[in-house]
Structure 1
Amino acid sequence: MIETRDKTLNMLETGQRARVIQVRGRGSSRKRLLDMGMVPGTVLNVTKKAPLGDPVDFKLKGYNLSLRKTEAEAVVVEVLED
């Protein structure tokens, strides 16, 4: 079953899966996220979170990616639940 609840990446917990809906922002920071694979439709898993929530590690498109909390706030996702 798929349940939709729009959140940003920084709100997800370890082990959750999500699909990228939108990358907010403008300029080089948005382009950088898109270049790293955070494009709409991409499914990712949260693999690790630091104790204070910064940084957060994700697995997407066959590789691991770490983002700071402020970067993760720019990515709107749909939470996927099995």
Structure 2
Amino acid sequence: MASEAEPRPLGMFECQLCALTVPYSYVGQKPPDTQAVVLLEESYIMKDPFSSDKESISAFPQEIQQDVEKRKGGSKKSSSHP
């Protein structure tokens, strides 16, 4: 049984520079399951082909990681002052 987190691929994306092929689940400017995200150009939405099945949040810059944590509601602000 397929997980809801991994939508069924619509097709295969092929990079014109390196010939990497990856199944994609959406093409457009407003990805499904997002409320406030509108992309400036049509984009392919796919699972990160370079990560394992675990979350790959640690690969993003610290600012992005903090923003993701805030949006998840898991942000813990420290009350200590330097």
TM band (smaller chain): under 0.3
TM-score (norm 1): 0.24
Task: Identify the structure with bigger relative contact order (alpha carbons < 8 Å, sequence gap 6+).
Answer: 1
Higher strand proportion: 1
Larger Rg: 2
